[in-house]
Structure 1
Amino acid sequence: MFTFRKKKTLRVFLVSCILLTFLSGCLGPSPEENIYTTLEKVVTLEEAFNDQQKPLQELEKKESDLYNQIMDLGMKEFDKVISLSKEALTLVEERETKINKEYESMMSSKEEFAKIDEEIEKIKDESLAKQASKLKTTMENRYSTYESLYDAYKSSISLDKELYTMLQKEDLTLDDLESQIKKVNDSYKTVMEYNEIFNQTTEDFNELKLEFYNQAELNVEGSKSQ
């Protein structure tokens, strides 16, 4: 009698476990909710990217002021030109450090974002799946544009270093200086073009993200933007 009851209790316990497992699978997060979680984490991973923006602008402003001072001096006060050029080089190196931190942040974001691929495949609503795919394509374009922007900025930094090193040479010719300045200006023009595309793509992505959240009927009051 005791043995029979013990077996019966065990059987009921096992059935309960199976039911709980089945229910937890059914009641787990939907693909849409998993996408939401991933996208919000992506925003968090990009915080380091955003943190670099103001310091970068400040460094660019300081460097620009030094450059103008150097150009005003010309080679008449060569010792001062050398001093200011060295100071400008230090600022360029600081910018390089920050742009590298920015890049690392974006690549972490990109890696996390890739997780939505398998979730999109699980979405049953065709219209919603299409919206999620559009969102994915836009974000991938954003990452691609950022990488081009990063490469262009790094190239500009290299040209800046060359310029400030050249300015420390007493035998620097006007032709060489003008040629280098043109390279620097052309390089930053490319940076600005990529930056505009990146900002626009970011804007487009944020709009599509909200549209997806609304279409999926997700509660997104605390949602963050890139």
Structure 2
Amino acid sequence: MKFSSLKFLRIVFCLVLPLVLLAGCLGQKSPAEQIYDVMEKAVAAEKKFEEQQGPLVELEKKEKELFDQIVEMGQKEFDQVEKLSNEALKLVDKRKEHIALEKESLDESRKQFGAAADHLKEIKDPKLKEKAELLVATMEKRYLAHEKLYKEYMIAIENDQKLYTLLKTKDVNLKDLEGQITSVNGSYTNVLEANKQFNELTEKYNQEKLAFFKLAGLDGKNES
């Protein structure tokens, strides 16, 4: 039983929080400073998201190693294939736990970032307001991109579960098996595309954030 598999390499860019020492602590903060506070809370909420990346990559790696072993064995060593498939299913369950924590973290970040829209209305400078609106719009697209990534990843996990269940079936129909492998590969292609979009929007947001602070006159305070 020889077939190709698709290795999913997770690469996620996290938000970069500038080290800003805000002025005006004794008085009313400017709208730009208030937006900074919102972003600080949003980034803090994503800590749990960042913590999931390492474990997820490790689990994906281990699962890929088990799958490769199963491929080499084929149905002639069914007992061992069944054992390895059960181990792989346990890894899939662990991935589900981590991806759930990741989504929970992004949902909290989105909730915190929602307050930025209120402070937008208080910005009087047209150019600064335009930068801020662009920043908020990009962040919202980023959250939507993660929603898509999450959905595609869950579809991929479901296909993985179906594949390992099939592999545990004695005298499995080869056509059914090949069809499920095709589904797995297709789902991870979608995951990679969604992951790429999420990373690109994260990078774009970080760039726009720096441009916003520069225009707001806060860039000189980004020194540690």
Question: Is the contact made by 2:75 and 2:171 (CA closer than 8 Å) also made in structure 1?
Answer: no
Q: 2:223 aligns with which of 207, 210, 221?
A: 221
Indicate yes or no: 2:133 matched with 1:133. Answer: yes
Deviates more, 1:191-200 or 1:26-35: 26-35
Give the Cα–Cα distance (whole angstroms) in 2 for the partners of residues 103 and 220 of structure 1: 30
Give the corresponding residue for 1:35: 35
Question: Is the contact made by 1:149 and 1:195 (CA closer than 8 Å) also made in structure 2?
Answer: yes
Give the corresponding residue for 2:204: 204
Q: Which amino acid aligns with 2:124?
A: K
Following superposition, the deviation at residue 171 of structure 1 comes to 2.7
Give the Cα–Cα distance (whole angstroms) in 2 for the partners of residues 40 and 209 of structure 1: 12
Query: Normalising by structure 1, what TM-score?
Result: 0.85
Q: Which amino acid aligns with 1:221?
A: E
- Residues 1-226 of structure 1 aligned to structure 2 (within 5 Å): 27-218=27-218, 219-221=221-223
1:89-117 superposed Cα distances (whole Å, 9 cap, x missing partner): 00000000000000000000000111000
Structure 1 gap segments, 5+ residues each: 1-23
Q: Which amino acid aligns with 1:35?
A: I
Following superposition, the deviation at residue 44 of structure 1 comes to 1.0
Question: Is the contact made by 2:31 and 2:123 (CA closer than 8 Å) also made in structure 1?
Answer: yes
Give the Cα–Cα distance (whole angstroms) in 2 for the partners of residues 221 and 121 of structure 1: 28
* Equivalences, count: 198
Structure 2 gap segments, 5+ residues each: 1-23
Following superposition, the deviation at residue 47 of structure 1 comes to 1.0
Following superposition, the deviation at residue 66 of structure 1 comes to 0.2
Query: Normalising by structure 2, what TM-score?
Result: 0.86
Following superposition, the deviation at residue 220 of structure 1 comes to 2.8
Which runs of 4 or more aligned residues in structure 1 lie more than 3 Å from their structure 2 counterparts after TM superposition? none
Percent identity, please.
45
Following superposition, the deviation at residue 42 of structure 1 comes to 1.0
Give the corresponding residue for 2:6: none
Following superposition, the deviation at residue 221 of structure 1 comes to 2.9
Give the Cα–Cα distance (whole angstroms) in 1 for the partners of residues 223 and 139 of structure 2: 22
Following superposition, the deviation at residue 164 of structure 1 comes to 0.6
SS of the residue corresponding to residue 221 of structure 1 reads coil
Following superposition, the deviation at residue 27 of structure 1 comes to 3.0
Give the corresponding residue for 1:12: none
Give the Cα–Cα distance (whole angstroms) in 2 for the partners of residues 221 and 189 of structure 1: 40
Q: Which amino acid aligns with 1:220?
A: N
- Which structure is larger by alpha-carbon Rg, 1 or 2? 1
Following superposition, the deviation at residue 214 of structure 1 comes to 1.1
Deviates more, 1:87-96 or 1:40-49: 40-49
Give the Cα–Cα distance (whole angstroms) in 2 for the partners of residues 90 and 134 of structure 1: 43
Give the Cα–Cα distance (whole angstroms) in 2 for the partners of residues 55 and 133 of structure 1: 35
Following superposition, the deviation at residue 77 of structure 1 comes to 0.5
Question: Is the contact made by 1:52 and 1:98 (CA closer than 8 Å) also made in structure 2?
Answer: yes
